[in-house]
């Protein structure tokens, strides 16, 4: 009888440091962020959280303000497996994954940085391809990763944050969740 070969593991043997952006503008925004962070703990060991920021919507502006933050943690999941895990959290918290792009949502969790890796796949780009144009991402990220260098732009996060348009629309509303 032939032995079955187990499927390849979506995990790596070494833990990677990841930076994630979290936000939402529907329902109890703070509770949604807190629940997303709790669920992240199943696969990501969170070791730093930014302050909370209220931000004006970008791209689709006729919607409620967002509550945004960033977290740092370590994971053994490879980037594609981490993305699937994050999408599962979003869906379980009520996000319509087929809904209006950039539209209202109870929760959004994005991979900003995965160690110093660059990933270019149809479903996933890391570093996040639009992070350098988003004050609502860079300001929270600078709280916990000011001296990290963007692996493609070769610029520090605090420098990118200091230059991004729209910084004035990002308002710190709480030091912690």
Residues labelled as active-site residues: 95, 105, 108, 110
Is it true that the peptide bond before 27 is cis, omega within 30 degrees of 0? no
3-class SS string, the chain: CCCCCCCCCCEEEEEEEEEEEEEECCCCHHHHHHHHHHHHCCCEEEEEECCEEEECCCCCCCCCCEEEEEEEEEEEECHHHHHHHHHHHHHHCCCCCCCCCCCCCCCEEEEEEECCCCEEECCEEECCCCHHHCHHHHHHHHHHHCCCECCCCCCEHHHHHHHCCCHHHEEEEECCC
């Amino acid at each position: 009888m032939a032995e079955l070969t187990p499927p390849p593991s979506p995990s790596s043997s070494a833990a990677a440091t990841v930076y994630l952006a979290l936000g939402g503008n529907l329902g109890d925004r703070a509770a949604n962020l807190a629940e997303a962070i709790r669920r992240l703990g199943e696969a990501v060991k969170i070791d730093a959280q930014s302050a909370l920021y209220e931000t004006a919507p970008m791209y689709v502006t006729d919607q409620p303000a967002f509550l945004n933050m960033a977290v740092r943690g370590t994971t053994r999941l490879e980037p594609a497996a981490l993305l699937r895990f994050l999408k599962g959290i979003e869906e379980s918290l009520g996000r319509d994954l087929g809904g209006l792009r950039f539209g209202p949502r109870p929760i959004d969790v994005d991979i900003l940085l995965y160690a110093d890796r660059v990933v270019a796949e149809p479903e996933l780009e890391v570093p996040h391809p639009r992070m350098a144009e988003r004050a609502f991402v860079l300001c929270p990220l600078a709280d916990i990763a000011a001296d990290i260098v963007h692996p493609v732009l070769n610029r520090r996060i605090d420098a990118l944050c200091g230059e991004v348009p729209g910084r004035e629309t990002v308002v710190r509303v709480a030091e912690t969740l």
